[in-house]
A and B are shown apart, each in its own frame.
Chain A
């Protein structure tokens, strides 16, 4: 499709010079416009095709082949197909716990990030001196290099010399330092009941919320700025209290943005690898699926297994997001 475009477009470019946007539906101007458009977009299409689309298709193929890092040289794309990799992935004892961890991490990470982002957007809604500075500060966790911030968090939470445990033991009177990132679960007594709390998982969820709430904050702030003040003014005149104005005037206007944020953040958190790999390395009950893919690939050198696991991840994600979108779309229909 793209290879024959350049030659043709040189002709088209000469002839079309005068017209930027043809108003007529057909004719030579329109055709030359189409050629120029394809020519200009073709570098993008080529690189996306070669470095994104083809590799994705290749993953699907690799997932059904027996390929290891050691026999990579002799492997080729016509190797016999097998279901072994998929079976190994699905029957593995760690698969279901890992999937649950991934789901918990994505759902709570997304939810917390959106709630904090919403609170921040509302708190910074009214103007005050220094608001620009506060807004910029809110965005720092999101833009800073993930390696640097995970390192700082790891140091802060370090049981030996981290500031969190130092404060906890000396100021809040904890019995002993907490190994936030390496303790799988701790017994905490709430109202006399001993409850097992997944410490490391909660810590990485907190980190995820800290790091990604600025994204929600940014979009909700933009949406809030577009909300007309007259509606709230009218509600205030009618005697609606601040919470009522939020519940019945502001929140309904924000709902579409929140829904989009929920989908985007869920997808990104579900796929995210960096944060957990850098914080815990996938230990202490935080092994999400993307970390498993990485371990299959590098530690075990099993390319087929890694591909199969990545494919399973993508399929589960597609199903979850598809279900959510269908439900959401239906609710919209009812509302409309």
Chain B
């Protein structure tokens, strides 16, 4: 530490000797740095906001412009409400048979898969997380490590055999196959998040219920589940977001049948073709991003707490 501190200290040596420990000169390194960072901080915040939000602004902007206008004046970043063209939204939502892009159908598929994943994951992960947190059984310490390993494995490594397997049993192209894959991928993280929350619930509450004659299942159902509700909600929304956003497995399993495309797959397939106008697809992007942003803003605090619960210990 001393070598970095030395240049200014040497210069201030006399000042220090006279005035005490802290130099009071107007341009000491400390004041310069403090002032610099006070300004720099706002510059950084503004830049970060611009960088993170601009793409989303651009998405909304392009979704309400017509293609002709976009090509005529690509640099325009403000469009007055009078010039808004909302026909893009109705075109992207209408079914393909009706001259639209069928996003309503994709959204229904995605919602089905995502909600199914949420339901199944919770059904499996809740007892699992409870067991890992509360019960001592053979290997309960090793299980978290095993799940972590699963989570870190390349999903492309799973893609090949699952593709082969589902092709052979005829589940490729079915939403059910996709559902199974999602659950298996997410359940480890879900258990990790839920277990952290179960750990914070005092055991004494459960013991009190047990002494009053509650069975183990009764304790789980009447005491632990209601207490863990905030974590369960956060977890459900987290799982929903992952399943709604997923792309690789949807691409591998569902690409052949347009009727079963999810929103992610639909947008990526249509954006590869030249026939669909960019502005219409921007409307599609807004539509598939909106549910995620709503879910995220509604639960930001819960999610952030749940995700980073283990971070403080480093």
Contact = CB atoms under 8 A, between A and B. Distances in A.
Contacts of A50: 184
B222 interface: no
A201 interface: no
A140 B33 contact: no
Nearest to B136: A33
Nearest to A169: B75
B17 interface: no
B307 A20 contact: no
Contacts, number: 308
A303 B308 contact: no
Interface size class of B (residues with CB under 8 A): 35 or more
Q: DSSP majority for the A interface?
A: helix
A17 interface: yes
A170 B77 CA distance: 14
Q: Is the interface of B mostly helix, strand, loop or mixed?
A: helix
B268 interface: yes
A28 interface: no
A306 B296 contact: no
Interface centre among A53, A67, A241, by most chain B C-beta atoms within 10 angstroms, is A241
Given A51-B180, A52-B158, A241-B29, A20 B134 contact: yes
B127 A43 contact: yes
Interface in A83-130: 116, 119-120, 123-124, 126
Given A52-B150, A147-B247, A34 B161 contact: no
B26 interface: no
27 contacts: A13-B215, A16-B216, A21-B134, A37-B135, A37-B136, A40-B127, A41-B140, A43-B128, A44-B125, A47-B184, A47-B187, A48-B187, A48-B188, A62-B164, A123-B41, A141-B55, A144-B56, A147-B263, A147-B268, A155-B62, A218-B307, A222-B304, A290-B154, A293-B160, A297-B160, A303-B164, A310-B159
Given A147-B267, A242-B37, A297-B163, 12 more contacts: A20-B134, A20-B207, A40-B127, A50-B184, A139-B304, A144-B289, A147-B265, A151-B267, A222-B311, A239-B21, A242-B34, A244-B5
Interface of A: 13-14, 16-22, 30, 33-41, 43-44, 47-48, 50-56, 58-59, 62, 67, 72-73, 116, 119-120, 123-124, 126, 134, 136-141, 143-149, 151-156, 160-163, 166-167, 170, 210, 214, 218-219, 222-223, 225-226, 238-244, 247-248, 256-257, 260, 264, 267-268, 270-271, 273-274, 278, 290, 293-294, 297-298, 303, 306-307, 310-311, 313-314, 317
